[in-house]
Amino acid sequence: MTNEQLNSGNPRVDIEYRRKKNAEEMRHQVISFALMIFLTLIAFVAVAYEEFSGWFVVPFILLLAGVQVIFQLFYFMHMSHKGHEAPKLFMYAGMVVAFVTILCYTTIIWW
Amino acid sequence: MSTIAQKKGFGATLWDYLTTVDHKKIAHLYLIAGGFFFLVGGLEALFIRIQLLKPNNDFVSAGFFNEILTMHGTTMIFLAAMPLVFAFMNAIMPLQIGARDVAFPFLNALGFWLFLFGGIFLNLSWFMGGAPDAGWTSYASLSITSEGHGIDFYALGLQIAGLGTLIGGINFLVTIINMRAPGMTYMRMPMFTWTTFIVSALILFAFPPLTVGLFLMTFDRMFGANFFDAAMGGNTIIWEHFFWIFGHPEVYILILPAFGIFSEIFAIFSRKRLFGYSSMVFATVLIGFLGFMVWAHHMFTTGLGPIANSIFAVATMAIAVPTGIKIFNWLFTMWGGSIRFTTPMLWAIAFIPSFIMGGVTGVMLGSASQDYQYHDTYFVVAHFHYVIVGGVVFALFAGAHLYWPKMFGTMLNEFLGKITFVLFFVGFHMTFFIQHFLGLWGMPRRVFTYLPGQGFETSNVISSIGAFLMAAGVIVLLVNVVITSVKNEKVGNDPWEDGRTLEWALPSPPPYYNFKQLPLVRGLDAYWLEKMDGKKGMTPAEPIGDIHMPNNSFIPFTISLGLFIAAFGAMFHGDEGNTWGVPVLIFGLLFTLGSMFVRSIKDDHGYHIPKKELLDDKDLGGKA
Ligand code: HEM
Ligand SMILES: [Cu+2]
């Protein structure tokens, strides 16, 4: 990672490999896009269906939202690729800090 | 563009600094602005000590005392210590990792101007109806009922300045992750770069809670919200939590760069590799992590309950472990080294016992049941001045002497430097040591006066005399700066002769593109390794080629100016019969957004320094 130059020498390096990689990438994106639409539909159905109580629907939707975030990060923002270790580390660290904060607020301020 | 130094007129120089995106010039700006606020904060401190010189003093009124006290703390933390630390980070860190600039030069400038406008805004409160007066912590029940606009200045000013700091922190993170020279692995980074890295991460996570807290405060005070008003269903404790979730990491944001500077100094002037480098890195990371788990030790007496208090007490004491690791490593670095007692080294050596005393009182305060006795007395005042002055301010002085040649190309006078040190060191201990006892005897913190016959008189006199000694030390430093600048004797690459890291391989000050050819780093203390192999400079890692440079820009200034204007609108719009507030608020925000818009649609690809020009330039390093 040290100091990568923007225009790396030869443009035709491993073009075959890149093409294959891109095709695979595309497939992942289409699949996860379809899944995300599907999850969104489920969320709408859950709200529209009157038998479910709010105590079920709200956590359920939040769960779906969490899944969507993961899809978004890993497939559309390429977090699964190499070279994203630092952003990942910082996101996890941020989640830990946020989690501790919320835990603390819920336990010692609000209850 | 020519690289040949030309004598420029005052106007041209001023414009250059207003538009610069060069990390070295931004470092100058931070140093000057931070230094100015340091003097302002120091003046406020002297007023405090004059007022407390004798019982029942009426040098200032009670209300004015609160304003001075609040502004002293706020100024010193946010407008003096932070920017001065940023000055050294900007000046040195990119050189240490072998980069030509930070990752986002434009944002770097933006960060500075936001800080400066925030700072100016805060200090304008003196002339516009009174400064904030609820302490630098601005606890909510007090601050939402504070009369006038003081607290509004606090909330808005810190919001703007804090935005600048956040931007700066992110910028340093990206720089260190992406722009290290070939061979500069993480575990070869100099200690100061490591601490800059961790501190930037702390900034990234600690400033958002402050931002949120300040926004809630802003809305409570200026837009009729009730987040902190218990009578309206709000909760005043939330402010304290937000403030300290930010506030405790903030004290580590200040002290870690100080640790970094001292680590460099100990290695340079003991002529030895830093002892236990990897454990130093580990300790730094651990301190950064634990720093987020301890904030409630500032709130033991608010009634969190025994379980919460115990958890936070244990976590707090755990921080002493990595800090201890560091202290031992510094001692072992000196052990067996051939020590030179230069001015920076004197500060570094004095730092160890001073800081340990602050750490010990910290652990005392961290034990929750004891804290019920100490809390809100002068004991706490003594504690945090021992860590902040004995740690951070000592490091800033040490760093100023150490890096002055790298930043300005001249050496500060060593003799005057040592006088500064002696005056300040003696003054510091005189002022604050006795305050431990004042606290134990029961003198409360943040009182504007005390009664005679309580046994506080002599100690307060001693404390005040010490403050004047510190002021004398600072004045000697200013004289030193003036003399050095007038004499203007330029020095070479490595004026301390024992420089170990990359910055000492460059001319002082470095050319505006830093490295003609990026250096090849072969280990920790890269420059020292080359020197030991009998080489004059670094081995280049690339052939000489065109260098891409960013263009100067005035837009960071205008973006910040817009927010500055908007802040006035936000503050005054609620006043009786005020008609211009809302338009000014909107105008200011549009001004900022407009500037950002111009920035995004204007194509600015920077420029290239042609290879030929670099080859012609003889007086620069990088000849392999
Ligand atoms: C071993 C390390 C440390 C421990 C255990 C510690 C512990 C504490 C505790 C428990 C308090 C709250 C006292 C009270 O209000 O009753 C406190 C206050 C404070 N500490 Fe430390 N501390 C440590 C290091 C530091 C460092 C390194 C700094 C800054 C560079 C620092 C700056 C402060 C400040 C500014 C306050 C006062 C805040 C205020 O109320 O205005 N501390 N410390
Ligand atoms: Cu703390």
Which of A3, A100, A105 shows the shortest C-beta gap to B179? A3
Tell me which range, A16-30, A76-90, B66-80, B306-320, is most confidently predicted by mean pLDDT. B66-80
**Burial bucket for residue A61 (CB in 10 Å: 0-12, 13-18, 19+):** middle
Chain A residues touching B183 at Cβ < 8 A: 2
- Residues of chain A found within 8 Å of residue B201, distances taken between Cβ atoms: 90, 93
Average pLDDT, chain B: 93
| pLDDT reported for residue B604 | 84
- Residues A69, A110, single domain; the answer is no
**A54: pLDDT strictly greater than 60:** yes
Pick from A104, A100, A83, A67: nearest CA to B205: A100
Q: Note whether A104 contacts B: Cβ–Cβ < 8 A.
A: yes
Q: How confident is the model at residue A11 (pLDDT cuts 50, 70, 90)?
A: low
Per-residue pLDDT, A5: 45
CB B419 within 8 A of CB B36: no
Per-residue pLDDT tens over the stretch B514-555: 999 999 999 999 999 999 999 888 999 999 999 999 999 999
pLDDT score, position B3: 45
Helices vs. strands in chain A: H and E counts, helices first: 3, 0
Under 8 Å between Cβ of B41 and B80 = yes
Q: Is the CB of B314 under 6 A from ligand 1?
A: no
Residue A79 pLDDT grade (very low, low, confident, very high; cuts 50, 70, 90): confident
What band does A21 get if pLDDT is binned at 50, 70 and 90?
A: confident
Decide if A3 and B180 are in contact by the 8 Å CB cutoff: yes
Which structural domain range is residue A105 located in? 82-111
**Do A108 and B304 lie within an 8 Å CB cutoff?**
yes
> Is pLDDT of B233 > 80?
yes
Considering only the beta carbons, identify the residue of A2, A4, A104 that sits closest to B184. Answer: A2
- Residues A46, A86 share a domain: no
- A4 with B305: Cβ contact below 8 A: no
Looking at the structure, tell me whether residues A73 and A105 fall in a common domain.
no
- If contacts are CB pairs under 8 Å, which of residues 168-187 in chain B contact chain A? 173, 177-185
Q: Give the pLDDT band of residue A81 (cuts 50, 70, 90).
A: confident
What is the predicted pLDDT for the residue at B65? 96
CA distances (Å), origin B339, targets A48, B334, B371, B496, B586: 77, 7, 40, 13, 60
Averaged pLDDT for residues B279-285 = 96
Does A19 score more than 90 pLDDT?
Answer: no
| Chain-chain contact of A2 with B293 (C-beta, under 8 angstroms) | no
pLDDT value at position A87?
84
- Reduced to 3 states, what is the DSSP secondary structure of residue B579? coil
pLDDT at B331 over 80: yes
pLDDT recorded at residue B7: 65
Whether the pLDDT of residue B621 is over 50: the answer is: no
Split at pLDDT 50, 70, 90, the class of B294 is: very high
Residues near B265 by beta carbon (within 8 Å), at least 6 away in sequence: B344, B345, B347, B348, B398, B402
Average pLDDT over residues B577-595: 94
**For B2-553+604-621, which CATH superfamily applies?**
Cytochrome c oxidase-like, subunit I domain (1.20.210.10)
Are A72 and A86 part of one and the same domain?
no
Domain range summary for chain B, segments of one domain joined by +:
2-553+604-621
Report d(CA B623, CA B620) in Å as an integer: 8
The per-residue pLDDT for B569 is 93
* pLDDT tens digits, one per residue of B93-146: 999 999 999 999 999 999 999 999 999 999 999 999 899 999 999 999 899 999
For residue B391 the two structure tokens come to 């740690």
Beta strand B607-609 with B547-549: parallel, antiparallel or unpaired?
antiparallel
Residues facing residue B540 across a β-bridge: B519
Chain A residues with CB under 8 Å of B184 CB are: 2
B350 in reach of chain A (CB within 8 A): no
B419-451 pLDDT tens trace: 999 999 999 999 999 999 999 999 999 999 999
Query: Which two three-digit tokens encode residue B345?
Result: 């080294």
Among residues A50, A51, A43, A49, which one has the least CA distance to residue A68? A43
Which pTM value belongs to this model?
0.90
The closest alpha carbon to B37, from B123, B103, B126, B121, belongs to B123
Residues A77-94: what's their mean pLDDT? 82
Nearest-angstrom CA–CA distance, B98 and B169:
19
The SS3 of residue B607 is strand
**Residues in contact with A37: Cβ distance below 8 Å, sequence separation at least 6, in sequence order:** none
Beta strands in B442-567 (DSSP E): 547-549
Structural Rg of chain B based on CA atoms:
25
Average pLDDT over residues B273-287: 95
A75/A106 same-domain check: no
Phi, psi of B365 (to 5 degrees): -65, -30
Contact residues on chain A for B312, CB-CB shorter than 8 A: none
Q: What's chain A's length in residues?
A: 111
What tens digit of pLDDT does each residue of B458-477 get?
999 999 999 999 999 999 99
Strands (E), B213-295: none
DSSP B309-353: HHHHHHHHHHTHHHHHHHHHHHHHHHTTS-----HHHHHHHHHHH
What is the whole-number distance in angstroms between the Cα of residue B367 and the centre of ligand 1? 12
Does A60 lie in the same domain as A7? yes
Cβ B245–A93 below 8 Å, yes or no?
A: no
pLDDT at B2: 43
**CA–CA dist A70, A79 (Å, integer):** 9
CA distance B274 to B260: 11
H or E stretch covering B435: helix B414-440
pLDDT in tens, B342-398: 999 999 999 999 999 999 999 999 999 999 999 999 999 999 999 999 999 999 999
Residue percentage of chain B with pLDDT more than 90: 89
Q: Into how many domains does chain A fold? A: 2
Bigger pLDDT: A111 vs A88 = A88
Contact call for residues B20 and B26 (beta carbons, < 8 A): yes
Most confident region among A66-80, A89-103, B304-318 by mean pLDDT: B304-318
Pair B448, B57: CB distance under 8 Å: no
Euclidean distance between CA atoms B238 and A66, whole angstroms: 27
Distance CA A95, CA B103 (A): 25
* Claim to verify: residue A9 and residue A42 sit in the same structural domain: yes
pLDDT of residue A10: 55
